[in-house]
Structure 1
Amino acid sequence: MSETVITVEGHFDHHHPAERGTVLVSVGFQGPDREPVVARTTSLHGRIAEEAERMRTDGAVTWWSADRLRVWSERPWNKDGKQLPLVHHAAVASEVKFADLARLAAWVESTAALEGVTITGIRWALTEVTKERLSADAQHRAVQDAVTRASAYAQSLGLTTVRPLAIADPGMLGDESRPQSAAPAAPMARAAAAAKESGGLDLKPEDVTISARVHARFAAS
């Protein structure tokens, strides 16, 4: 009896609460005189850097980094098409990665209230240990899903035996299968912020997703 070739995609997604949060913060001022603008920016950045280092020392923060100070000038135009006096700008972007998400929420709330500070976003993530564990498990379950799908197709055709021929990452079986997202992947989760009754900031990160996709080919008879 001839065999029927069945090609399927197996997939599995893990959804896990965020364990780390990296705050993206920008410090900057603008004004007609360059020196005061630069001085205010460097002073406030120094304050934030000191806080980040202090939190790193006590374990709430795992690491932090800062870009170089950027200074530039421009001559804006008013609504009548007249060029206005020179305006000077200075800015520094930093990242602060928190292991303590409660401290993250408190720090974001207090820091965002400072003049010259903009919280540009938060990247949520898992620890490397958790990510590796979930990635391995997701890959295993994706293969199981491929076997289940192939078996279901075979049963629909009245076939009883399914034998694996090949398994690969999406798009690597040498056919016309459309590649899917690379696996495993850990997309950045978004954060929802809501005001608590106490007036504090309640950060609610979405779960981080670990995805696995495989393409598999089976012979059924």
Structure 2
Amino acid sequence: MTETIITVQGEYSAWYPAERATVAASVRTDGPGRDDVFSRAVEASDALRNLIESIHDKDAGPVTWWSSDSVRVWSERPWNNEGKQLDPVFHAAVDFTAKFMEFEALARWVESAVGIDGVAVNSIEWALTDATRTSATVEVRSRAVKDAVAKASVYAQSIGLGSVTAIALADPGMLGDPSGGGSGPQPVFARGAMRSAAFDSSGTPQVALKPEEIAVASIVDARFVAK
């Protein structure tokens, strides 16, 4: 009976709603006097730190973890458009990171944080819990293998052969790649948006957070014998 080797690549991806958010915020102050710049940075940092600590609980949230660095102060002497070096300008900075498990609390926190002079919310990274990520990875890998079987079956049928039997499964690039390279682990993509919303009835600006879904993807190389 004629046997034919069929090598295919199976793939599958699925989208999952974000469950966690990691916020990067910072305090930035500047001015002509070092002491004043440092003092304003410390004041803003204390206010932001208190805002985080008031809702921090590693088990119940809304903030499950946070960190900050020390106040950094430096100076520079800018040049004007006539080529003259000006008096020193001092800068101070402190960076904060906080992990949230409740997005409504996150929105309220962002509103309060950006109301502190010198504070900016720089980014929000959306993520899945470890448990969800693990189960999602198992699911998409299984579906990627099934996709490879389906492709191989179609190829076999198109040349008049019947069933296919897997003889090798591997991560991408590991089946007969002469260079020995591979594409490595499949990525997990997190997309999200942080945007300003309309004003409420009292005229107070509000922040609307829109976490988008996270894609978990898998690709597998497979080799089959078709008879």
**TM-score with structure 1 length normalisation?**
0.92
Residue 25 of structure 1 aligns to a residue whose secondary structure is strand
Aligned length: 220
Alpha-carbon offset, residue 2 of structure 1:
3.2
Report the counterpart of residue 45 of structure 2 in structure 1: 45
Report the counterpart of residue 32 of structure 1 in structure 2: 32
141-150 vs 170-179, which moves further: 170-179
The answer to whether structure 1 residue 200 and structure 2 residue 202 are counterparts is no
Alpha-carbon offset, residue 180 of structure 1:
4.0
Residue 114 of structure 1 aligns to a residue whose secondary structure is coil
Report the counterpart of residue 182 of structure 1 in structure 2: 185
Tell me the distance in 2 between the aligned counterparts of 1:70 and 1:174: 53
194-203 vs 89-98, which moves further: 194-203
Tell me the distance in 2 between the aligned counterparts of 1:28 and 1:203: 23
**TM-score with structure 2 length normalisation?**
0.90
Quickly say closer, same or farther: Cα 1:163–1:26, change in 2 above 3 A: same
The answer to whether structure 1 residue 114 and structure 2 residue 116 are counterparts is yes
Alpha-carbon offset, residue 71 of structure 1:
1.4
Contact map agreement 1:182 1:213 (CA 8 A) in 2: no
Alpha-carbon offset, residue 67 of structure 1:
2.4
Quickly say closer, same or farther: Cα 1:106–1:181, change in 2 above 3 A: farther
Residue 188 of structure 1 aligns to a residue whose secondary structure is strand
108-117 vs 81-90, which moves further: 108-117
Residue 173 of structure 1 aligns to a residue whose secondary structure is coil
Amino acid aligned to 1:214: V
Residue 135 of structure 1 is aligned with which of 134, 137, 140? 137
Tell me the distance in 1 between the aligned counterparts of 2:32 and 2:146: 65
Residue 187 of structure 1 aligns to a residue whose secondary structure is strand
Amino acid aligned to 2:211: P
48-57 vs 170-179, which moves further: 170-179
Alpha-carbon offset, residue 220 of structure 1:
1.0
Report the counterpart of residue 95 of structure 1 in structure 2: 97
Tell me the distance in 1 between the aligned counterparts of 2:98 and 2:178: 44
Tell me the distance in 1 between the aligned counterparts of 2:3 and 2:38: 74
